[in-house]
Amino acid sequence: MVYDGILLGLIVGFIRAGWKNGLLALSQINIRFGWVFPLLLLGQFGLYLLQDKFSFFAQFNGYIYIVIYVTGLSLLWLNRHQKGLGIIFAGVLLNFVVMLANGGRMPVSLEAAQAVLDPIYIDMLMSGDAVTKHFLMDESTRLSFLGDIIPLGPPYPRSQAISIGDVVINVGVFLFILQLLGKKSKPNSNSLPENAL
């Protein structure tokens, strides 16, 4: 879901900055401990693969996710002064809070899922196994308004149920990329007119 924000940011950013300036600006990206983010992504992906094979990972993956989230959050916090990253932090925090309140997993609303998702996926959700990160919400779910309750479907090009945290993250990503591409490469301006020696 984060990719939507990245894509949109890149498109609008490149339109505004131009191809060459945009690429130049993109190369000047500077996030403290930025290299950790790809590792976190890899970690998540690895977890997804491993949990089917080892019961150990299936059992504890809730905790491992918490570790990944806390790491990501603290990195975002360190970089919160860059435009957009503070918003991403808020979005991740919203998602994190609802997952924490529900044993490390994200509740999905049946209405939203039914509205836009593949029935096979819904069956999987209802049976309660597989799909690592998610579960179907019910009366006992806490903070359900922070869960995946927003149905995204046609005319939007993708079908998905997302949470408000996801929306906020995307807004942040969009703004971050936009400001990144919007940065002017240092113009050679002198504050004084040329005849002022």
Partner 1 sequence: MGSQRQGYRLKPQELLVVVICLLGTLLFLSFFWDTGFHLPNSGWVMFYALVAGAIVLEYFMFKLPPEGNHQSMDSTIFLAALFIYGPKFSLMVLLVSAVIIAFNRRHVAWWKHYYNFVTYSAMIIGAYWVFEAMGGTLGDFKVVELYAYVGALATYFFVNVLLLASYFFLLYRNQLIPVLAHFVRESIFAYLGILLFSIVLLILILKTNMFGVFLFLIIAVLLSHVFKQLFLMYHEINDKANKDQRTGLFNHSYLEEKLDEYIQLYREEGKAFSFAMLDLDDFKKYNDLYGHPQGDKLLGFVGSILKEECEPHGYICARYGGEEFAVIMPELDKNKARLFIHQLRKRVNNSPFEGVDVLPHGCISFSAGVMEMNADTYEKSQLVGFSDRAMYISKSKGKNVVTVYGEQTFIPQLFEHEINELEQQIKVFLSKDVYTFKHSKRVYSYAVDMSQVLGLAEEERRTLILGALIHDIGKLEVPREVLTKRTKLSQDEWELIKRHVTFGKEFLLATGKYNDLVPLVELHHERYDGGGYPHNLKGPEIPKLARILCIIDSFDAMTTERPYQRTKSFTEALDEMRRCTGTQFDPELVAPFIRYIEQRIEQGDIPEEALQAFEQQQKQQEPNERI
- Structure tokens of 136? 């179907």
Distance CA 11, CA 1 (A): 16
With binding defined as CB under 8 A, does residue 145 bind partner 1?
yes
Among the residue ranges 19-27, 61-69, 109-117, 120-128, the one whose residues contact partner 1 (CB under 8 A)? 109-117
The residue within the footprint of partner 1, chosen from 13, 72, 104, 151 (CB under 8 A), is: 151
Q: How would you class 193 by CB atoms within 10 Å of its CB: exposed for 0-12, middle for 13-18, buried for 19 or more?
A: exposed
Q: Is 190 in the site for partner 1 (CB under 8 A)?
A: no
Q: 106, 112, 117, 178: which one contacts partner 1 (CB under 8 A)?
A: 112
Q: Least distance in Å: CB of 30 to partner 1?
A: 23
Please work out, in degrees rounded to the nearest 5, the angle formed at the alpha carbon of residue 157 by the alpha carbons of 108 and 43: 55
Angle (CA) 27-31-33 rounded to 5° is: 125
With contacts defined by CB under 8 A, name the span among 2-10, 28-36, 70-78, 142-150 that binds partner 1: 142-150
Q: Which of 3, 54, 111, 130 binds partner 1 (CB under 8 A)?
A: 111
Nearer to partner 1, 25 or 112 (CB): 112
| Residue 72, helix vs strand vs coil | helix
C-beta of 109 vs 132, nearer to partner 1? 109
106 φ/ψ angles, rounded to the nearest 5 degrees: -90, 125
β 134-136/106-108 pair status: parallel
Task: Tell me: does residue 38 bind partner 1 (CB under 8 A).
Answer: no
Closest residue by Cα to residue 172 from 82, 96, 100 = 82
- Which residues are near partner 1 by CB under 8 A? 109, 111-112, 137, 144-145, 147, 149-151, 164, 167, 193, 195-197
